[in-house]
Structure 1
Amino acid sequence: MSEGVQQGRFAGKVAFVTGAGSGMGAAVARQLAAEGARSVVLADLNGEAVKAVAAELPAGRAVALDVADADAVDAAIAEVLREEGGLDVLVHAAGVDDPKAKQLIADALVGGRLPEVTDHLDDADWRRVMRVNLDGTFHVLRAGVRTMRPAEAGAIVVIGSSSVFDSPVGYPHYAASKAGVHAMSQAVAKEVISSGIRVNVVAPGPTDTGMAARTPQALRSDLADPRVRPYATPEEIADIALFLASDAAANLVGAVLLANGGRFTV
């Protein structure tokens, strides 16, 4: 390990990152390793993708994980505790969007009409988004708190969404799931700070991830406002997440940092 890595913000830390097979989660994992973390456990539903990212990192270990499976989340975090003796940093970046809803919105844009998504939103589509985004966040937060409380220390960062604030037309289930994520994270933050655990949220706007790449071009173009910064890179969002996880953010508890390039303010 180089001298620069040894002196990094996360030198000697144990970290767990969900959604680490691509996008923001992968960027967070890479940066944690670059800044000295002695162990970075990368978790993702896509087992092959997360193995590939973990293979890049000297301290990386991959876990195939569905965050919607509470037992699997508990087992994965418990394994970290057994193997490493504790958990210092937890970044939860796993989440899903709804390609069907996005296509309906894009088709409406091309056709010059208002989207009609709610009419076509079935129970399975609603539950899928809620199960991963909201239930999954609860499972990860709960497992992290259970592991960190005995040590009376730890930093948890959750990736939320700027859609909580602007509630995009035609995307009610996604906006609702992320609003729940924000509120839940803030409630947990106020509860666990007395145990030395800090919980904070990053709320990205459009970010150039694999999820964004699958967004229909008409909708991508609609979001590409020339008056503001372009789509964020995953690394830019990772920088904010890791600031929140670092000692420099010691006084930030229950914060929601809006990172949308100036599209709107709250």
Structure 2
Amino acid sequence: MTQPQDGIGGTFAGQVALVTGGGSGIGAAVARRLAAMGCAVHVADVNGDNAKAVASEVRGRGHVVDVTDSSAVDALVAGVVSESGSLDVVVHTAGVDDAQAKEWLLEARESGEPVDVLCRLTDADWQRIISINLAGTFHVLRAAVQAMRPQGRGAIVTVGSSAAFDTLVGYPHYAASKAGVHALSQSVAKEAIAYGIRVNTVAPGPVDTPMASRTPAAVRKAMEATGVIGYATPEQLADNICYLASPGAANVVGAVLLSNGGRFTVS
């Protein structure tokens, strides 16, 4: 493993991190932030070229992984531990939305007709979102906890969504998958803390990522209007995530941190 990038601080000095979905968006911003704080970073993504590009930037290692493939996730985590000797931080940002559903939302907005998404979703549409967002999170959590248990420590951060609380019209599959991520992560957090492993979740609102760039302009404008701050940057989410992974959050276990620009609060 290459040496950590010289950076702005040593919060994660000497630690090893794995960032899934690290080839772009929030994951790439997290990889950069962790490296800047002294962490040796493994960047994993379904797009191998993107993973290698970000890894090169942070002087880490790039990996190709499809998080829906549990065997591939297990092999990835085992390989990181074998190469680096430990695994201290796992940040799971890999996930997808549904570009077609966004087009249907635009169609309804332009026509003035009610939103018609649910009855147009196929089993394959549903399974794709659930497999990547929810099953993928399960695969990563299981592999990470298995790797961290022998060392008696670790921090894992998953990415949910504010849409799990303030569910979006026309997005039932996405909202369900992210609500599942929250419940899964919180349940695992209660189990894993007995082994010194902290699990927490960040729940973003709209974030200006390549995935968000596929949102039709009219739909994006409507989403921006729901909050004062507008779309967050990936770097803002990276700050939230790195806090949850840091010693500064040592007493934070099973939290779901809203990062949605004040669109709503929950109690």
Structure 1-normalised TM-score? 0.96
Deviation at 1:74, TM superposition (A): 0.2
Take 1:155 and 1:230, find their aligned partners in 2: how far apart are those partners? 30
1:191 matched to which residue of 2? Answer: 191
**Runs of 4+ in structure 1 over 6 Å off:** 1-4
In the TM superposition, what whole-angstrom CA distance separates every residue of 1:6-62 from its partner, at most 9, and x where no partner exists? 85110010000000010000000001111101x20000001111111111112x110
2:11 to 2, 9, 19: 9
1:27 matched to which residue of 2? Answer: 29
Q: CA separation of 1:67/1:237 partners in 2, compared to 1, >3 Å: closer, same or farther?
A: same
Take 2:77 and 2:256, find their aligned partners in 1: how far apart are those partners? 25
Take 1:3 and 1:121, find their aligned partners in 2: how far apart are those partners? 45
1:105 matched to which residue of 2? Answer: 105
The correspondence of residues 69-80 of structure 1 with structure 2, limited to 5 A, is 69-80=69-80
Assess if the C-alpha contact under 8 Å between 2:4 and 2:41 holds in 1. Answer: no
Q: Secondary structure of the equivalent of 1:96?
A: coil
Q: CA separation of 1:3/1:26 partners in 2, compared to 1, >3 Å: closer, same or farther?
A: closer
Q: CA separation of 1:49/1:7 partners in 2, compared to 1, >3 Å: closer, same or farther?
A: closer
Take 1:257 and 1:203, find their aligned partners in 2: how far apart are those partners? 6
The correspondence of residues 58-73 of structure 1 with structure 2, limited to 5 A, is 58=59, 60-73=60-73
Assess if the C-alpha contact under 8 Å between 2:200 and 2:255 holds in 1. Answer: yes
1:114 matched to which residue of 2? Answer: 114
Assess if the C-alpha contact under 8 Å between 1:5 and 1:11 holds in 2. Answer: no
Take 2:99 and 2:226, find their aligned partners in 1: how far apart are those partners? 25
User: Letter of the aligned partner of 2:14 in structure 1?
Assistant: G
Q: Secondary structure of the equivalent of 1:17?
A: strand
Q: RMSD of the TM alignment (CA)?
A: 1.5
Structure 2-normalised TM-score? 0.96
Deviation at 1:186, TM superposition (A): 0.1
Take 2:159 and 2:227, find their aligned partners in 1: how far apart are those partners? 25
The correspondence of residues 162-201 of structure 1 with structure 2, limited to 5 A, is 162-201=162-201
1:136 matched to which residue of 2? Answer: 136
Assess if the C-alpha contact under 8 Å between 1:209 and 1:234 holds in 2. Answer: yes
Assess if the C-alpha contact under 8 Å between 1:28 and 1:241 holds in 2. Answer: yes
Deviation at 1:158, TM superposition (A): 0.3
Q: How many residues align?
A: 264
2:44 matched to which residue of 1? Answer: 43
What is the percent sequence identity of the aligned residues? 59
Q: Secondary structure of the equivalent of 2:211?
A: helix
The correspondence of residues 247-258 of structure 1 with structure 2, limited to 5 A, is 247-258=247-258
Deviation at 1:112, TM superposition (A): 1.8
Assess if the C-alpha contact under 8 Å between 1:21 and 1:50 holds in 2. Answer: yes
The correspondence of residues 239-250 of structure 1 with structure 2, limited to 5 A, is 239-250=239-250
Assess if the C-alpha contact under 8 Å between 2:8 and 2:36 holds in 1. Answer: no
Take 1:40 and 1:96, find their aligned partners in 2: how far apart are those partners? 23
Take 1:141 and 1:68, find their aligned partners in 2: how far apart are those partners? 12
Take 1:227 and 1:79, find their aligned partners in 2: how far apart are those partners? 42
Deviation at 1:113, TM superposition (A): 2.2
Q: Structure 1 unaligned runs (5+)?
A: none
Take 1:182 and 1:255, find their aligned partners in 2: how far apart are those partners? 9
